[in-house]
Amino acid sequence: MIISLEDIFSAIKSYNPDADFDQISRAYNVAQEAHKNQFRASGEPYFLHPEAVALVVASELRLDSTSVCAALLHDVVEDTDINIENIEEMFGPVMAQLVGGVTKLNKVFFSSPSAAQAASFRKMLLAMTNDVRVILIKLADRLHNIRTLCFLPPVKQKYIAKETLEIYAPLAHRLGINKIKSELEETSFKYLMPEKAKEINDYLESSGIEGDIIIKKALEEIEEHLKDFNVSASLSGRPKQAYSIYNKTIKYNSGIDTLYDFLGIRILTDSVKDCYAALGMVHKYWRPIPGRFKDYIAVPKPNMYQSLHTSVIYDGKPLEVQIRTHDMHRVAEEGIAAHWDYKERGGSGNSNAPDYKEKLSWLRNLIEWCQEVNDASELMETVKVDLFQYHVYVFTPKGEVVELPKDSTPIDFAYTIHTDVGHRCVGAKINGHIVPLEYRLRNGDIVSILTSKSQKGPSRDWLKIVGSANAKRKIRTWLKKEFRDEYILSGEREFLEAFQRLGGERETEKLFGTPSFNGRVKEFGFPSLDEVYAGIGAGEVRAQQIIGKLFPDLLLKTQQRQIEAKKNRTEKQKKRKAQKGPRIIVGGLEGALIKISRCCNPIPGDEIIGYITRGRGVTVHKKDCPNTKSLASDSENRIIDVRWDLGITDEIMGAGSYMVKIRVETTDRRGMLNSVTSVIANQGLNIISASAKTTKERTGILEFTIEVGNSEVLNELLRLILRLTGVTKAYRVDKKQ
């Protein structure tokens, strides 16, 4: 077949008269020149292939002119002296991306026979593509290759046919492009299983004459009846597809002669209303087969396919009827391409709402397909098919695809291959180059793992590097075995700390490690106390979780306290807004201006005295504040009795608006800041600021500024902090020290 630029132009003109024809002829000339001395297996000039692919892109997928150009140029980077930079110079970055995308896809070959591998491979193809047009061009490319498969040697024919059936036809199906999907399937089937295909096709031929007569009769009758219903429609017999019949014989494990829906007709109407009218007519004249009616108009298939399906008994034989509108039919045939209306820049009506909406629903459905993406809305902003952002697809040296979570490393890969490969991993090569173990894998990487017999097992640091839960679990399990004693010790310590943090009783604490406690642990379904400690130490389980199971009351109380405290806090905040200033009653002075002294910072519950200042009202100090001593001796008569207004402070027991600084001294141990912070938080108190330092004597000094309501709450808090293992002192700091 000879194709000319004019053929491509006229195909485009039929749906996009505003196309950039100038650009297309430039791409045409560039590609023609680049391929000029190359020939296909058929002996024809190579350029015939890109030309044909461009024609498919235009006439069968009706894509924009950029896609048509990219189709013309799709093989130049791989096969000629032109590189991606040249393309970008000549046609701009978008074209370079499209051509680059197709070139990249050309380099991956599917070689593994398993179905799971095929699924991963399909996902990977999409993952490697950030513009769906790349896939569409690739499908057009594959379609032309399949159409000209006869020129290749049989081994290659089989390989390409298999890859097409397992990878490209399902992709076309997913994208809803049935027209291309069917042709890919039917042709590949003939090459891959010639005997089967012949058997089925022969059968269809032989029963065909009879079938054709029935179909012709049915179509005439339906046409008559539709007229009575005032429905205008175009009718056709449904093409029979050998490959789908073959699949049905496999699926139902039955012979071809027992499958009964070969006879099919299609009714295309102008409106949805007419679809249902036509359905009513069909069901009126012929008896429907129960369970065969499907309303894909009301509930479209994930790939946006819409149609009514029913089967009726016609002349004693089952007849399948598909009814849909012309628009639905276009979607059924062209799929995503029907929606992907790439209007030219500056062209008319390129952003009308329904189009955009449909585009989005395509993306949404694609997303549902991969089921991995949680928040689709963000993705909707872009017109990219970056669907598999949470996974990365890489190859083994043998070409098998491995799916891993995003941010995975060669270590994750190694553990996916085999646990022992993970344990003995000492290095990795990506695409032949040595990389560090913390290297983040990228789509399409070929990963080979270097192992060593002398490598005993994973390093603890790996836990910080790896990205997959699977690798983490395997590393932890190994470490737990190897460092069991160490983990038991650290786990026991963590357990005790958590128990104390949650305010557990000292009496109960004494029981830990006794046989009776061990028995209790087993009653709760844990293998043994040591095992529990080892698990905590290894980071498999959190101490608080175990305590929550063993002492449900303790956890419950803490949770209640936290909820209560939060409630109190919001109530208090409301109250505080209503009443300003300290709640202090000054003896004998009405409406005195009161200031809380900063030097000792008294809080409700502290014994206090007032000091009358000149022009600044009454300053309130703690009774034992050293400053008041000097003040008192200075001028006795300026000291005044003050007391807390308990009527109000009673109400605001617990946390409140008084800021207090506390200091906690600890033995120098990791995690102390965390433990003390938890105790404070568990009491429902706000921490305003916190600091930690270590003295030369290896004493840890932690300081917190917290909000409390009165001294009682503060004292309780200090008591609880003192109970923590490792805490040597806990006290209030009055002055800035």
Question: Which residues contact Mn ion by CB under 5 A?
Answer: 75, 141
Sorted by sequence, the CB contacts under 8 Å of residue 493 that are 6+ apart come out as 725
Name the one residue in this structure whose structure tokens are 């297996």: 41
Least separation, in Å, of the C-beta of 412 and Mn ion?
Answer: 35
Tell me, what amino acid is at 117? Q
Of residues 106 and 448, the one with the C-beta less far from Mn ion: 106
Report the distance separating Cα 177 and Cα 62, nearest Å: 12
Question: Taking the CA of residue 610 as centre, how many other CA atoms within 13 Å lie in the half-sphere pointing to its CB?
Answer: 22
Which residue of the set 7, 18, 44, 79 is catalytic?
79
Enclosing H/E stretch for 659: strand 658-667
Please compute Rg for the chain using Cα positions. 39
Of residues 75 and 131, the one with the C-beta less far from Mn ion: 75
Q: The tokens of 189 are what? A: 């089937």
Sorted by sequence, the CB contacts under 8 Å of residue 238 that are 6+ apart come out as 264, 265, 266, 320, 322
Of residues 145 and 269, the one with the C-beta less far from Mn ion: 145
Least separation, in Å, of the C-beta of 78 and Mn ion?
Answer: 8
Least separation, in Å, of the C-beta of 74 and Mn ion?
Answer: 6
Distances (CA, A) of 473 to 181, 258, 457, 484: 42, 51, 14, 15
Of residues 108 and 425, the one with the C-beta less far from Mn ion: 108
Q: What is the DSSP letter of 426?
A: E
224 is catalytic: no
- Helix 353-370, helix 115-127: angle, nearest 10: 140
Least separation, in Å, of the C-beta of 146 and Mn ion?
Answer: 11
Least separation, in Å, of the C-beta of 72 and Mn ion?
Answer: 11
Which residue of the set 78, 202, 205, 368 is catalytic?
78
Find the residue with minimal CB distance to Mn ion: 141
Give which of 443, 439, 441, 445 is closest to 427, Cα–Cα. 439
Q: Buried b vs exposed e over 701-726: b needs ≥16 C-beta within 10 Å?
A: ebebebbbbbbebbeebbebbebbeb
Of residues 71 and 132, the one with the C-beta less far from Mn ion: 71
Question: Taking the CA of residue 595 as centre, how many other CA atoms within 13 Å lie in the half-sphere pointing to its CB?
Answer: 12
Q: Buried b vs exposed e over 8-42: b needs ≥16 C-beta within 10 Å?
A: bbebbeeebeebbbebbeebbebbbebbeeeeeee
Name the one residue in this structure whose structure tokens are 């499958």: 259
Report the distance separating Cα 645 and Cα 651, nearest Å: 11
78 is catalytic: yes
Calculate the CA 545 to chain-centre distance.
Answer: 27
**Pairing, β 618-622 against β 584-586:** unpaired
- Helix 178-192, helix 242-251: angle, nearest 10: 70
Q: Compute the Cα dihedral for 17, 23, 29, 30 and give only its sign.
A: negative
Catalytic residue numbers, as ranges: 78-79
